[in-house]
């Protein structure tokens, strides 16, 4: 339920009410919309709590039930789009967020080459995997902390933000100490323990859609992070699993306008995993931008065929540069 | 197998060879690429026919096996993109093909209102259903010939081409006498009898992708039409069936660059059926165009909420007009 | 709407009412449940027809709305399971219906060998394709009428019923003159023109579930046949399309109890198409029987590896015999 | 690669070779098949390691490459079916493993009621969730350690084994101290960090198939556990995600014979999650058993409608008892 407070209620009075609700075992969130405070009761409600009770509170002007299960990720509590500010970069604002870099961090040199190139071509965030979720336990599992160090240096030198995946709660603090944005991979989208822990870091989280997650499940996964009090969630569509065997995944471009309809969170698109086919990355990046995506995430490598992982879907520096030129003409 | 003929072989000599192959029970197709004739043997080959036999023919310079099952729809026989000329309109050329109109033809007035409006807004082809494939036998099944008459008049008056679906071989001649392009609906994509018969009309065919058809099956359905000798097939991506319940279908935008890679045929996109959600039609049309589609097909109605069928996915005349404005700025 | 007539209303009085409804443009069906007549109005109802109107009729005791869209296929009008009697064979009764035979009819000898063997092993219906729906136009398309003749002779000689697919309305009378049960293949499940025409033959129809048809769509396809007045529809689960590449299809065994819950029609299972893997046919046949299927349909060939079509999923005569032995012990 | 050692090589000689390979950075596993030792090199091989090198070793009789990616889960290294012995219970042997109990552990009384009843009806393993993976953060998350204590007592009193899910590496030791079998849920099937950690406990692991995991991915997840040296993995089919909205999931019964074909590990089936529909649980349990499953896992509750979670798919004690009676007659 959402309690819309009277116009004359101050922030401290509102906070007092939140504390009182907490004491009643009702978890709630305070927010402001159009200069008026509102308190969203997100859990603890049960049959014993009667709505009339809240209407009788002197601070409350009006109450409104939630229609959607994703209370904090949805638009009922927050109608305008969220803009996530990270240092001097905004995700969800006017400017397109462009995350680019190799699938796996392979060497110091590789990261510097890529970072310097993609920064010049217009990227603002460097991506790279240090702990890799691999289908086979026998495949390259990543360079770990060494890789994170390379990425941090390369990103800073080129005035880029950085993003990397966390797979294991034991690595959470480590990864958080090196990168600006923590990524939850598609396979961990419903790893609820990890979602709760990652939320508590307060860092911006890039949450990838699970291979067969519905929009509702995707937003409920975001909700796990948001309810820890961390509002900085970026949704990432990265292709879903369908019957079609040609492409690795079916990139669901409609997820962009639909998630924007359902949620205030920024939505970016990963055309690399989304298709798994190098040649399809640029056209699908254009499609994502045309559909209104707040950003793209692309796998780029100086020598794609020698990429340690995901070689088939990794584009070259030259292709990235051409792609960025065309995207800049589109927007 | 493809027989590449020697440079000095004339068209009549090539045709003679086709006839001789026919006499050997080998069905073949004659085509010209870069001023040189080539004969594609599409069926009749079996273990008794030895490749060497063809190499010994005096007209033959070189032979090449087919790697793809879609011999005529693929790019092995024809490497450049096909442009389908219908009256003064080209599909697959520079200009975007825009097919617009109501789901069902409802009345004479409706068709004139829509046709006149969409023509002004930039459409070049009028769509409308006269025989409707409805999941329920109790739903509106279409106006039949009466509807076709309304459409033909409205199209002609506004210098538009027309397209309508054929569901039944008994209606084939009837529909063909009224419209410029015959449509095969998604549910009939593998109605092989109908594909063979519709091919023989020689009319341009708009072939919609089946709800769960792979790219390969889609191109094999096109092959059924092409092998009747009718080269005028337009492929239409209209959304596939996935686990996601929010949208009616998942529009597979990647089908555009992938089908262009696999085939020389033009590819258009139907964002109306592709999403089933009115509000998602414009962003998905933009995505389709950005991904390189040769055209779009959109359901438009003067009063969408009163549409006899598909009301949820039908846009208004005003929305169509705004959408066309933005598309024109994109290209 | 269902009109439950008063107990004292005779059949002729009920028929009179049906005629009167017809005159009002309301299509209806008369049936008897527990010695009381009821009239189901299946189409023609609109806003002008007020329910009260029917309650005022002197013959009517009670009216009941339909909750399901599949009015005739569902269990609202007919609560007990349907048993389809064909000559001295029942489908949907106590005895399991076993349809066996080759994918394609290849020769007279083949059909006699198979028919004689499967009859002894316990089959009661001979299957075989004369007109084949092939993904490629270049694959074997079937022997046509010649094949039907072979099948009819082989079936009669071995006291078996026969079933074969109809793909084309032009072949409907031909196939109907040779076989006992007409089959609609998965690819034609929503070929609504063909459904209407095949229904009118009055012959028993084996309707296969489309590759990606929901239960509701499957039953609506049955509804197209039932509303022609033909009550003899047998539903066949034959595997659905999913993301899994190992098997040709995912056999949805749960369709058996679910369709029995939703519909009174008999449900059989095709484990050959359902898996596409020879070795998986027997275990999936056992699973189907255990789940309550009214029958199975299996591809059997004297020399499976030389089968003209579907070789990978065709079992040998010996395997069929062993499978039948085990099934008999199960029931 | 698999090194088949000469017949006269003793266990200690074989272990010496394993140690030597380890020193060369080649991870390997020693096993015995038909009285002959064999060493499987599972990782560390690269271009520098030439197969001839191994053939030259005096202990080695023959080398064989792996054809499958799942080296330890597949049947190349171990051709007979695995039987997992847990106390006096065997999974994968002659007797069916029957795991039954509530979705969530709710109270001490509930667990005792269920345990006593299902033990009498023929179950040998008690199931119950103490840490629940819930799509919504606002849903009941489980009783935690308190619940585990109730389950342990109820299981021991009724001579049952126990199984419960682990979602979080922080809870691993806790859960392992209370239950006999640790469960990895479908949503964590590709939580590779957790797979590695859970493997190291040495406890039997029940691994549930992910909602959209292919057989190959499922077996690769098992491989993550097996390569920690823990051979006790039980595979559990629990329904996959498809387009069909009626049932919660589509239970893939064919997974039973297919996984048995590909792997030596036992395979059980969960018809409760597999359908999500109470009435469909018994028929799907029968189908699983008929298809050759090594066991079933079923949600049972004294008062299913009051179940804290998964009420729709939970059967009553009476239904469980009737179901077990019929299953006993089947086998």
* pLDDT tens for the 331 residues of chain A, in order: 899 999 999 999 999 999 999 888 888 889 888 889 999 998 887 766 788 888 889 999 999 999 999 999 999 999 999 999 999 999 999 999 999 999 999 999 999 999 999 999 999 999 999 998 898 888 888 999 999 999 999 999 999 999 999 999 999 999 999 999 999 999 999 999 999 999 999 999 999 999 999 999 999 999 999 999 999 999 999 999 999 999 999 999 999 999 999 999 999 999 999 999 999 999 999 999 999 999 999 999 999 999 988 889 999 999 999 999 999 998 7
CB-CB under 8 Å, B245 with D242:
no
Question: In angstroms, rounded to a whole number, what is the distance separating the alpha carbons of residues B249 and B280?
Answer: 12
- Which of A:14-33 have CB within 8 Å of D? none
B283–A256 CB contact, under 8 Å: yes
Nearest 5°: the CA angle D36, D42, D46 is 120
Answer whether D246 touches B (CB < 8 Å). Answer: no
- What is the per-residue pLDDT for D152? 98
Give the D window 279-298 contacts with C, CB below 8 Å.
279-280, 283-284, 286-292
Percent of chain B with pLDDT over 90: 85
Which one of A212, A247, A253 has the shortest CB-CB distance to B243? A212
Q: Cα–Cα distances in Å, from D166 out to B170, C57, D33, D132, D177?
A: 62, 65, 33, 9, 12
**Chain B residues close to A280, C-beta within 8 Å:** 254, 257-258
Q: What is the CATH number of the domain that holds D49?
A: 3.30.70
Q: Is residue A264 part of a domain?
A: yes
A274: in domain: yes
Please check whether residue B242 touches A, CB under 8 A.
Answer: yes
Q: DSSP letters of C95-121?
A: SPEEEEE-SB---HHHHHHHHHHHHHH
Q: Domain check: are D33 and D165 in the same one?
A: no
Alpha-carbon Rg for chain C, nearest whole angstrom, is: 21
pLDDT of D47 strictly over 80: no
C48 has pLDDT over 80: no
Per the structure, how many domains does chain D have? 2
Same domain, A90 and A59: no
Tell me, yes or no, whether D188 and D269 share the same domain: yes
Are B90 and B84 in contact, with CB atoms under 8 Å apart? yes
Between the alpha carbon of residue B139 and those of residues A18, B81, B142, the distances in Å are 53, 40, 9
Q: What is the pLDDT of residues D187-201, one digit of tens each?
A: 999 999 999 999 999
Residue B69 lies in a domain: no
Identify whether residues A108 and A54 lie together within a single domain: no
| Residues from chain C contacting residue A212 (CB–CB below 8 Å) | 243
Reading the block at residue A86, the tokens are 């990270």
* Residues spanned by the domain of D12: 2-64
* Closest to D36 measured CA to CA, from D63, D54, D2, D9: D9
The whole-number pLDDT of residue B183 equals 98
Residue of B nearest to A282 (CA): B291
Q: Of C245, C252, C289, which has the smallest distance from its Cβ to D250's Cβ?
A: C252
B127 and B192 in one domain? yes
Band of pLDDT at residue B152, cut at 50, 70 and 90: very high
Which one, of A67, A28, A68, lies nearest residue A49 by Cα? A28
pLDDT digits (tens, 9 = 90+) for C76-114: 999 999 999 999 999 999 999 999 999 999 999 999 999
Name which of B154, A220, A261 is nearest D134 in CA terms.
Answer: A220
Section D29-45 average pLDDT: 87
Contact residues, A window 185-224, toward C, CB-based 8 Å cutoff: 212
Q: What is the CATH number of the domain that holds D301?
A: 3.20.20.70
In a domain, B152, yes or no: yes
* C-beta of residue A285 within 8 angstroms of C-beta of residue A323: yes
What pLDDT is stored for residue D95 in this prediction?
A: 96
What is the reported pLDDT for B73? 97
Suggest the residue from D135, D225, D242 to mutate for an interface test with chain A (most A CBs closer than 10 A): D135
Cβ–Cβ of C43/B170 closer than 8 Å?
no
Task: Answer yes or no: do D111 and D260 share one domain.
Answer: yes
pLDDT at C47: 65
Residue of A nearest to C243 (CA): A243
**Chain D contact for C240 (CB, 8 A cutoff):** yes
The C-alpha atoms of residue A92 and residue A321 are separated, in whole angstroms, by 23
Alpha-carbon distances of C120 from B331, C125, C299, C324, rounded to whole Å: 70, 12, 16, 10
Residues in B closer than 8 angstroms to D242, CB to CB, are 243
In eight-state DSSP terms, residue B105 is -
| Residues on chain B touching A272 (C-beta within 8 angstroms) | none
Mean pLDDT, range B213-222, rounded to an integer: 98
Q: What CA–CA distance (Å, rounded) separates B203 from B209?
A: 19
Rounded CA-CA distance A29/D146 in Å is: 30
Q: What is the spatial distance between Cα B241 and Cα C217, in angstroms, rounded to a whole number?
A: 13
> In angstroms, what separates the C-alpha of D274 from chain C's closest C-alpha?
9
The answer to whether residue D217 is domain-embedded is yes
**What's the pLDDT band for D51 if we cut at 50, 70, 90?**
confident
pLDDT average, residue stretch C161-174? 95
What chain A residue is nearest to D242 in terms of C-alpha separation?
A: A242
Q: Which of D84, D110, D112 lies closest to D97, judged by CA?
A: D84
Q: Which chain C residues are Cβ-neighbours of A245 within 8 angstroms?
A: 245
pLDDT over threshold 80, residue C175: yes
Is residue C246 less than 8 Å (CB to CB) from chain A?
A: no
Give CA C282 to chain center in angstroms.
21
Inside any domain, residue A288: yes
The answer to whether A246 contacts chain C (CB < 8 Å) is no
| Same structural domain, D212 and D294 | yes
Residue A202 within any structural domain of the chain = yes
Identify each DSSP E strand in chain D by its residue range. Answer: 2-5, 27-33, 36-43, 60-64, 84-86, 89-91, 97-101, 125-127, 161-165, 181-184, 205-208, 233-237, 267-269, 295-299
Q: Which residue has the tokens 């051409």?
A: A322
Mode of pairing for the β-strands spanning D36-43 and D27-33: antiparallel
Is there a single domain that holds both residue C36 and residue C153? no
Chain B touching partners, 3 or more CB pairs below 8 A: A, C, D
Q: Parallel, antiparallel, or unpaired for β B36-43 and B2-5?
A: antiparallel
Distances in Å between the Cα of A118 and the Cα atoms of A112, A130, A322, B285, C63 are 10, 19, 11, 30, 71
CA–CA dist A144, A168 (Å, integer):
12
Report the neighbours of C using a cutoff of 3 or more CB pairs below 8 angstroms: A, B, D
CB contact under 8 A, D252 and C250: yes
A307, A310, A313, A317: CA torsion to nearest 10: -30
Average of pLDDT values for C137-165? 95
Q: Are residues A35 and A135 in the same domain?
A: no
The partner residue sitting opposite C291, judged by closest CB among D252, D254, D286, is: D286
- Contact of D278 with D241, CB cutoff 8 Å: no
Whether residues D258 and C246 touch (CB distance < 8 A) is answered with: yes
DSSP state of B316: P
Distance to chain A for D136, nearest Cα, Å? 6
Question: Mutate which of B28, B138, B242 to disrupt the C interface (most C C-beta within 10 Å)?
Answer: B138
Does position C324 have pLDDT exceeding 70, yes or no? yes
B241/B251 Cα distance (integer angstroms): 9
Same-domain status, A222 and A175? yes
Whether A73 is in a domain gets the answer no
Would you call D241 and B241 a contact, using CB atoms and an 8 Å cutoff?
no
Average pLDDT rounded to a whole number, residues D248-265: 98
Whether residue B48 has pLDDT greater than 90: no
The answer to whether the CB of A154 falls within 8 A of the CB of A115 is: yes
Does one domain contain both C31 and C98?
no
Query: Above 90 in pLDDT, residue B25?
Result: no
| D161 strand-pairing partners | D125
Q: How far apart are CA D262 and CA D209, in angstroms?
A: 15
Both tokens of B168, joined, read 């039944």
Co-location of C142 and C189 in the same domain: yes
């Amino acid at each position: 339920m959402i309690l819309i407070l009277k116009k004359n209620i101050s922030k401290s009075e509102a906070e007092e009410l939140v504390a009182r609700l907490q004491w009643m075992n009702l978890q709630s969130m305070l927010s402001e919309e159009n200069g008026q405070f509102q308190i969203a009761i997100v859990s603890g409600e049960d049959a014993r709590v009667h709505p009339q009770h809240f209407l009788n509170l002197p601070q409350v002007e009006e109450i409104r039930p939630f229609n959607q299960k994703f209370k904090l990720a949805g638009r009922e509590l927050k109608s305008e789009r969220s803009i996530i500010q990270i240092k001097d970069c905004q995700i969800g604002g006017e400017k397109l967020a462009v995350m680019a870099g190799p699938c796996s961090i392979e060497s110091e040199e590789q990261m510097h080459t890529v970072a310097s190139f993609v920064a010049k071509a217009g990227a603002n965030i460097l991506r790279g995997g240090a702990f890799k979720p691999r289908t086979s336990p026998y495949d390259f599992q990543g360079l770990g902390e060494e890789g994170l160090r390379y990425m941090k240096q390369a990103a800073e030198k080129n005035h880029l933000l950085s993003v990397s995946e966390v797979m294991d709660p034991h690595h959470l603090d480590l990864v958080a100490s090196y990168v600006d944005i923590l990524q939850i991979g598609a396979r961990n989208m419903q790893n609820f323990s990890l979602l709760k822990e990652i939320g508590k870091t307060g860092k911006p989280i890039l949450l990838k859609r699970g291979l067969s997650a519905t929009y509702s499940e995707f937003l409920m996964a975001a909700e796990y992070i948001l309810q820890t009090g961390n509002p900085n969630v970026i949704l990432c569509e990265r292709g879903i699993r369908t019957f079609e065997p040609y492409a690795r995944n079916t990139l669901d471009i409609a997820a962009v306008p639909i998630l924007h309809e359902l949620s205030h969170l920024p939505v970016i698109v990963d055309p690399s995993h989304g298709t798994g086919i190098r040649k399809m990355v640029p056209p699908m990046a254009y499609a994502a931008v045309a559909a209104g995506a707040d950003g793209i995430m692309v796998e780029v490598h100086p020598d794609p065929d020698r990429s340690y992982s995901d070689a088939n879907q990794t584009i070259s520096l030259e292709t990235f540069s051409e792609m960025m030129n065309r995207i800049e003409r589109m927007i």
